[in-house]
Chains A and B, each alone.
Chain A
Amino acid sequence: MITLPEIEIVQKHFGKAVHDVAVRSLKRATVTIDPESIVNVSRFLFKDLNFRFIIASALETDRGIEVLYHFSLDVSGLILNLQVILDKEHTEIESLTGLFEAANWIEREMHEIIGINFRNHPNLDKLISEGNWAEGVYPYRKNEQRAEGIRSENSEQ
């Protein structure tokens, strides 16, 4: 069972908010946390441990809408994924733009492709979809009503 010092520090600071830890190797790990603590944990990683925010990925699974925030510790090559699971009906979470500008565009994109509301984001205008697909349609959600005229993708499940 590999342990990583960075994860141990996070667990020490945020004990209750950490739901699960999965360490794949010395350089790859995923920590599942409580959505309400995303800002505090991210701030800790960014300011105290000097992680760099890479990007965030959102996907729908049986457990809900999962968002993975990918952070990189460049001095060691570690990629730490912060995973949060959001409810499919009330999909919202606090925005990270207060911490770093790097979260701005990706949160806008996640908002329009999968329908996550980022609280306190300065500008949730569409980034890529204006004119490209219909209002209220979230292409990355399954079982979504499609408006007429939009090509349906052939996804294998």
Chain B
Amino acid sequence: MNKIIPIGPYHPLQEEPELFKLYCEGEIVRDIKWETGYNHRGIEKLSESKTFDQVFFLVERVCGICSTSHPFAFANCMEEIGEIEIPARAKYIRSIIGELERIHSHLLWVGLAGHFLGYNTVFMWAWKYREPVLDLFEMITGNRNSYAMFKIGGVRRDIENYKIPGIQETLDLLKRKTNLLIGAVMDDPVIHARTKGVGVLSREDIINYAAVGPTARASGVDIDVRRDDPYAAYPLVSWKVITAQAGDVFAKAEVRLLEMLESISIIEQCLEGLKKEKEGGTEVLVKEIPEGMGTGRAEAPRGEVFHFVKTDGSNYPVRHKIRAPSYVNIATFRKACVGQTISDAAISLAAVDPCYCCTERMAVAYDIHTGEIIMNGAGLLELSVQKTLKLKS
């Protein structure tokens, strides 16, 4: 029985309490333990004291990166309880916002993955091209993040026709840059060496952990809420679900990059749809929500977001359950990491694309025999960068 000496979380050697503890034997990770709770804000309980209109502002801030998917799923849920049909214009606008968010989130991920591999140019580049997307958000909604666009019955602001040419221009720029990025990333032999065969999740793993989103699609599990349980404008436009088979970090990158191109195509079709609808008419008035319960879901950049709400005829939810995709996806990290070397730990975690704050307070590696800390989060990152440099030379 290997003795493990418990250390921390406030040991003087490390800077901050860690989220993941990697137990290592030499170079190989043997086991993982994790500690959560640092981000717990009691949102589900808070939701019970807010009116339905107020809940939208609350759920937007569950996660800043997929901040539209939570209101999206919540709106789908409430419209199911109230049996409300939203106008076509609202459907197009909702899908546009959802897809723009997917683009900015995947660009963010590409930047972070580049950073973990030691390609800081990729990080700077990907985040530079996030800026036009955030500018679009500011133009349409007034804020770069947390857009407050959704309400029960429709959307709060219209996308007027005069804005459409500007949006199209940015989309053309993004198309060019995404193709450039795809070429640079998918053809680089060092990236192949660092990401192929790393952090592999098999189809069986995905099903066992019930993982969703690009994490699942990269292992050949063909699920996507937009196609399986259609909502908003997704059944009105044509697009395809991207899957890969290998289940490693490279496959996950491939899926995300190609999805960005699909998103751009969806937005363009939605803009065409908008031009055909009359301006204005972005909502139906909803006076009350009947008693009952409903479930709503949306495809966030990271996977399926699920909301369950129980109502009692008043203006407040009786119970509001929120499940973000990272809840099921992060658990797969154990499978992806155990048996790999610690230098691959950083990129395996990043490939699951947990919400950024989880990645930030990353991991600490322990020796499985002595319990001594081998290195902290910054060290793991450094190790990853060094491995890349070695491969390059």
Taking the complex as formed, is B314 at the interface, i.e. its CB lies under 8 A from any CB of chain A? yes
Indicate whether A156 sits within 8 Å of B316 (C-beta atoms), given known contacts A70-B295, A102-B209, A127-B36. Answer: yes
Q: Are A57 and B321 in contact (CB under 8 A)?
A: yes
Rounded to whole angstroms, the CA-CA distance of A55 and B48 in the bound complex is 20
Chain B nearest Cβ from A130, distance in angstroms: 6
The residue in chain A whose Cβ has the minimal distance to the Cβ of B312 is A157
Rounded to whole angstroms, the CA-CA distance of A75 and B306 in the bound complex is 17
A 18-55 contacts with B by CB, 8 A:
24, 27-28, 30, 52-55
B 279-331 contacts with A by CB, 8 A:
293-295, 297, 304, 306, 308, 310, 314, 316, 318-319, 321, 323, 327-328, 331
Q: Are A57 and B319 in contact (CB under 8 A)?
A: yes
Task: Produce 1/0 per residue, A59-74, CB < 8 A to B.
Answer: 1000000001010101
Rounded to whole angstroms, the CA-CA distance of A104 and B330 in the bound complex is 12
Q: Are B230 and A70 in contact (CB under 8 A)?
A: no
Q: Are B230 and A77 in contact (CB under 8 A)?
A: yes
Task: Produce 1/0 per residue, B209-241, CB < 8 A to A.
Answer: 110000000000001000011100000000000
Residues of B within 8 A of A143 (CB): none
Task: Report which of A27, A74, A81, A106 forms a contact with B223, defined as CB distance below 8 A.
Answer: A74
Taking the complex as formed, is B144 at the interface, i.e. its CB lies under 8 A from any CB of chain A? no
Taking the complex as formed, is A145 at the interface, i.e. its CB lies under 8 A from any CB of chain B? no
Residues of B within 8 A of A52 (CB): 207, 210, 223
The residue in chain B whose Cβ has the minimal distance to the Cβ of A52 is B210
Q: Are A131 and B37 in contact (CB under 8 A)?
A: yes
Chain B nearest Cβ from A100, distance in angstroms: 5
Q: Are B45 and A139 in contact (CB under 8 A)?
A: yes
Task: Report which of B45, B293, B308, B314 forms a contact with A156, defined as CB distance below 8 A.
Answer: B314
B 172-196 contacts with A by CB, 8 A:
none
The residue in chain A whose Cβ has the minimal distance to the Cβ of B295 is A79
B 335-357 contacts with A by CB, 8 A:
none
Taking the complex as formed, is B42 at the interface, i.e. its CB lies under 8 A from any CB of chain A? yes
Indicate whether A104 sits within 8 Å of B331 (C-beta atoms), given known contacts A127-B36, A129-B37. Answer: yes
- Interface size, chain B (Cβ < 8 Å): 35
Rounded to whole angstroms, the CA-CA distance of A139 and B41 in the bound complex is 13
Q: Are A81 and B295 in contact (CB under 8 A)?
A: yes
Taking the complex as formed, is A135 at the interface, i.e. its CB lies under 8 A from any CB of chain B? no
Residues of A within 8 A of B321 (CB): 55, 57
The residue in chain B whose Cβ has the minimal distance to the Cβ of A130 is B37
The residue in chain B whose Cβ has the minimal distance to the Cβ of A27 is B229
Task: Report which of B37, B80, B209 forms a contact with A100, defined as CB distance below 8 A.
Answer: B209
Q: Are A54 and B323 in contact (CB under 8 A)?
A: yes
Rounded to whole angstroms, the CA-CA distance of A128 and B39 in the bound complex is 8
The residue in chain B whose Cβ has the minimal distance to the Cβ of A156 is B316
Residues of A within 8 A of B49 (CB): 153-156
Indicate whether A128 sits within 8 Å of B45 (C-beta atoms), given known contacts A68-B308, A101-B209. Answer: no
Q: Are B327 and A55 in contact (CB under 8 A)?
A: yes
Rounded to whole angstroms, the CA-CA distance of A57 and B295 in the bound complex is 11
The residue in B49, B207, B316 that gathers the most chain A C-beta atoms within 10 A of its C-beta is B207
Taking the complex as formed, is B3 at the interface, i.e. its CB lies under 8 A from any CB of chain A? no
Q: Are B210 and A102 in contact (CB under 8 A)?
A: yes
Q: Are B46 and A54 in contact (CB under 8 A)?
A: no
Task: Report which of A70, A126, A139 forms a contact with B308, defined as CB distance below 8 A.
Answer: A70
Chain B nearest Cβ from A132, distance in angstroms: 6
Residues of A within 8 A of B210 (CB): 52-54, 100, 102
Taking the complex as formed, is B40 at the interface, i.e. its CB lies under 8 A from any CB of chain A? yes
The residue in chain A whose Cβ has the minimal distance to the Cβ of B49 is A154
Q: Are A132 and B37 in contact (CB under 8 A)?
A: yes
Chain B nearest Cβ from A136, distance in angstroms: 17
Q: Are A55 and B306 in contact (CB under 8 A)?
A: yes
Taking the complex as formed, is A105 at the interface, i.e. its CB lies under 8 A from any CB of chain B? yes
Chain A nearest Cβ from B91, distance in angstroms: 17
Rounded to whole angstroms, the CA-CA distance of A52 and B304 in the bound complex is 12
Taking the complex as formed, is B393 at the interface, i.e. its CB lies under 8 A from any CB of chain A? no
Taking the complex as formed, is B208 at the interface, i.e. its CB lies under 8 A from any CB of chain A? yes
Rounded to whole angstroms, the CA-CA distance of A75 and B224 in the bound complex is 10
Task: Report which of B80, B230, B297, B331 forms a contact with A102, defined as CB distance below 8 A.
Answer: B331
Between A and B, 9 residue pairs with Cβ closer than 8 Å are: A54-B304, A72-B304, A100-B208, A101-B331, A128-B37, A130-B35, A132-B37, A153-B48, A155-B49
Question: In the complex, given contacts A24-B80, A54-B323, A102-B208, what are 10 additional A-B residue pairs having Cβ atoms less than 8 angstroms apart?
Answer: A54-B304, A55-B306, A57-B308, A57-B319, A106-B327, A127-B37, A128-B36, A128-B40, A132-B40, A153-B48
Enumerate the 4 nearest inter-chain pairs by beta-carbon distance, A residue then B residue, closest first: A77-B229, A102-B210, A57-B321, A55-B323
